[in-house]
Amino acid sequence: MVRAAVLPAVGSPLEITDIDLPAPGPGQVRVRLAAAGVCHSDLSLTNGTMRVPVPAVLGHEGAGTVVAVGEGVTSVAPGAEVVLNWAPSCGSCHPCSLGEVWLCVNALNGAGSVYAHTADGTELHPGLNVAAFAEETVVAENCLIPLPAGIPLTEAALLGCAVLTGYGAVHHSAKVRQGETVAVFGAGGVGLATLQAARIAGAGQIIAVDVSPDKEGLARQAGATDFVVASETTAKDIRRLTGGQGTDVAVECVGRAVTIRTAWESTRRGGRTTVVGIGGKDQQVTFNALEIFHWGRTLAGCVYGNCDPATDLPVLADHIRAGRLDLDSLVSERIPLAGIPAAFDNMLAGKGGRALVVF
């Protein structure tokens, strides 16, 4: 039996309880978690914005050590340190054939499987494939990426979502160039990673936007040169800071219609907006045909940072070892498993960066 955070039903509070985790079957690996990040996507699963089969063990951003492998597993062995990959690509669907592995149509097939049981025998699903909100988990072999040498295992959990997403939004989606101006909307875990990525890309001016003035220190530590408290005048404030032009790039990490629209309005004529935040179906963003023509701006979605984790993780490791990327500064609090509900409350209140469950 291992301790885990179980979502019994959409809209229900998480239950911290013991679950029966079986030995790994063919092609499966059992991992002892060192840490798991509390991501807004986990919150979106609890309230139904995103849907997976329930009951489920949530958590998709994690790292740990392999403790057992099933028949046929060749890429890892017991004792190996790994990062969980919640969206493994199948390699054979149409997006994968185009090299767009982050859009793999089969990436979440494992979320519908039964991977464990509660003490009373209730079947449990593995959230977004990997069920990281537990002391240990059993995942498919392709849900693991070996952790490059020299990277601290606990903080490496952030590589599984926040850092890949923020880095990819800047380098793959927006393709920020040396000297460009960048605005980042939302200074949570992904937003702080995005700010660091913009700094690494050589952005000349980096403007962080958040509803909470308390996040200015975190944002500046991550690389922001300016900080704007979100209001009805945010777009005007950003244009004022950029000589009346607006930024070259805006990255939206919130997932709200008003924020997406403001991010788009904050860019210069011909500017580029990348949307990372996950919003609900009720969040409708509207544009008129004339402004689309006149401004010549682009608006792009971004899934998992448009990253291939197997390729991008070694690049991120190089940045970490060189001191350009600081994982520890992304963590606003380290909590036990039972602290996840309070971390969700802080997220809703706009407090802090990334909460990290440390086992």
* pLDDT given for residue 273 in this prediction: 98
* pLDDT given for residue 309 in this prediction: 94
Cβ atoms of residues 199 and 176 within 8 Å: no
Closest CA to 8 of 132, 123, 139: 123
Strands 61-69 and 28-38: antiparallel
* pLDDT given for residue 50 in this prediction: 83
Question: For residue 73, what are the CA distances in angstroms to 143, 311, 315, 316?
Answer: 12, 21, 25, 26
- Contact partners, residue 217, CB within 8 Å, separation at least 6: none
Question: For residue 20, what are the CA distances in angstroms to 17, 52, 71, 119, 299?
Answer: 10, 20, 20, 6, 45
Complete DSSP assignment for 173-227: IS---TT-EEEEE--SHHHHHHHHHHHHTT-SEEEEEES-GGGHHHHHHHT-SEE
Confidence of residue 51 (pLDDT cuts 50, 70, 90): confident
Confidence of residue 351 (pLDDT cuts 50, 70, 90): confident
* pLDDT given for residue 248 in this prediction: 98
Write down the architecture of domain 2-160+327-358 according to CATH. Alpha-Beta Complex (3.90)
Confidence of residue 43 (pLDDT cuts 50, 70, 90): confident
Positions of CATH 3.40.50.720 in the chain:
166-303
Confidence of residue 280 (pLDDT cuts 50, 70, 90): confident
Q: Is the pLDDT of residue 331 over 90?
A: yes
The CA distance from 108 to 166, in Å, is 21
Positions of CATH 3.90.180.10 in the chain:
2-160+327-358
Confidence of residue 33 (pLDDT cuts 50, 70, 90): very high
Helix, coil or strand: residue 318: helix
Confidence of residue 306 (pLDDT cuts 50, 70, 90): very high
- The CATH number, out of the four listed (3.40.50.300, 3.40.50.1820, 3.30.1360.180, 3.40.50.720), of the domain defined by the range 166-303: 3.40.50.720
Confidence of residue 95 (pLDDT cuts 50, 70, 90): very high
The pLDDT tens digits for 215-246 are 999 999 999 999 999 999 999 999 999 999 99
Q: Is the pLDDT of residue 214 over 90?
A: yes
* pLDDT given for residue 48 in this prediction: 82
Among 41-55, 183-197, 305-319, which is the least confidently predicted range? Answer: 41-55
Q: pTM for the complete prediction?
A: 0.95
Cβ atoms of residues 276 and 194 within 8 Å: yes
